[in-house]
Structure 1
């Protein structure tokens, strides 16, 4: 809720519902259990309230040590496999995520890190990462840099242990220049228009990308926004 570029962004209303509602609804299409891991700050009480009314388990912890919140949540719920998504991606396609998880499970490799973020071909805003509890616990115990703790997975995807293996989920056509995450007012305006005027809340990733291909004026709304660096 204390986002520096767009405070309260995940609960901003679109068509009478908060962005987080759309995010959760689309993630539920994956068939996977969902957990919210937010801070213990009073400013994030509205997120805890959202979790309660949505019947979602909610773990609360340190604002800056997001890695510890993930570890706490995974331990509390005895999770063997973790899928990381961020709450400012309200149009992430749950079915794409589910396919990634199926690929991960078929590999049967606790040292595998599977994602669509290291080799980018999906628009920003479809990001997900899949990794084992074993890798999470190792990162929790070994990672010391503030950026490691804040961004959860750098210790894993930079292969600091030397034991991590990688699989990249990629599209045949690169659309990584498109931006469907919500970090600024311009990002929000694009997502608002997509949901309210183009039915984006029910569109697949491929359909959303095709829509952006057909409407360069929509892409232009936030094409100039630069993603924050790690």
Structure 2
């Protein structure tokens, strides 16, 4: 596949609502909103043609739309609850033939891992590729590096056929819950780094991310390897959020009730 194909679109879902850290996507990290940090890193992935933020039509997310306009980030506003529908409509609006799904709480995501997942999707002619799937699959990448890739045609199929609430809210379960329905490629990471938590869902997570950025002098160019090297040298940093429990992928927004 050619690099910088505009039909390969990374869509980052983001909203202000968060049960454990409200407004987390706009929390400042070294003077910039966390979501801007993430967009900057994703844009460095050589396989990504466009990076788009998919936020909601909820008035509380007006500030995300304002931030996107301020920093020149394309965005779309859709359903607060049916995130699959939000992805489908965002992909259609921006002419995506291949969708790379990311969540807006991963401000140190490594563009090389994104590229690896996208390349694998094309090389294996997969319907769906990911570098992490929920149990019973074994995670090997750190939390905060999750990348999922799907074609627009298959996303449209899921949009039409997925009926369960968690399938609509978490976007991609329809692709891997039933064995044999789609050709799924799961990329493992060597060595296993699953015990590291590099996402932001709590104040403890944010404290770690801020420390990481400050260590690298507030640039956006450090790699996952460099982060792991830092945490190995500074176990006190890794301990900042070591007790945080990751939410289950079957957890649903309470507004679904």
Q: Distance in 2 between matches of 1:176 and 1:105?
A: 25
From 18, 29, 34, the counterpart of 1:14: 29
1:142-157 matches, cutoff 5 A: 142-157=161-176
CA contact (8 A) 2:25 2:105 kept: yes
CA contact (8 A) 2:124 2:185 kept: no
CA contact (8 A) 2:175 2:184 kept: no
Which secondary structure state, in structure 1, belongs to the residue aligned with residue 240 of structure 2? coil
Which secondary structure state, in structure 2, belongs to the residue aligned with residue 90 of structure 1? coil
Q: Distance in 2 between matches of 1:131 and 1:213?
A: 34
* Backbone CA RMSD of aligned residues: 1.5
- The CA deviation at 1:105 is 1.9
Which secondary structure state, in structure 1, belongs to the residue aligned with residue 105 of structure 2? coil
Partner residue of 1:49? 66
Which secondary structure state, in structure 2, belongs to the residue aligned with residue 85 of structure 1? strand
Contiguous gaps of at least 5 residues in structure 2:
1-15, 251-257
1:66-85 matches, cutoff 5 A: 66-85=83-102
Which secondary structure state, in structure 2, belongs to the residue aligned with residue 34 of structure 1? strand
Q: Tell which deviates more after alignment, 136-145 or 190-199.
A: 190-199
Q: Distance in 2 between matches of 1:49 and 1:157?
A: 35
How many residue pairs get aligned? The number is 227
- The CA deviation at 1:106 is 2.5
From 66, 82, 93, the counterpart of 1:65: 82
Do residues 132 (structure 1) and 159 (structure 2) align?
A: no
Moved over 6 A (4+): none
- The CA deviation at 1:131 is 1.0
- What is the TM-score of this pair, normalised by structure 1? 0.93
1:152-171 matches, cutoff 5 A: 152-159=171-178, 162-171=180-189
- What is the TM-score of this pair, normalised by structure 2? 0.84
CA contact (8 A) 2:17 2:23 kept: yes
Partner residue of 2:52? 35
Partner residue of 1:88? 105
Q: Deviations over 1:92-126 (max 9, x none)?
A: 011221222122223334x2x11111242111001
| More helix as a share of residues | 1
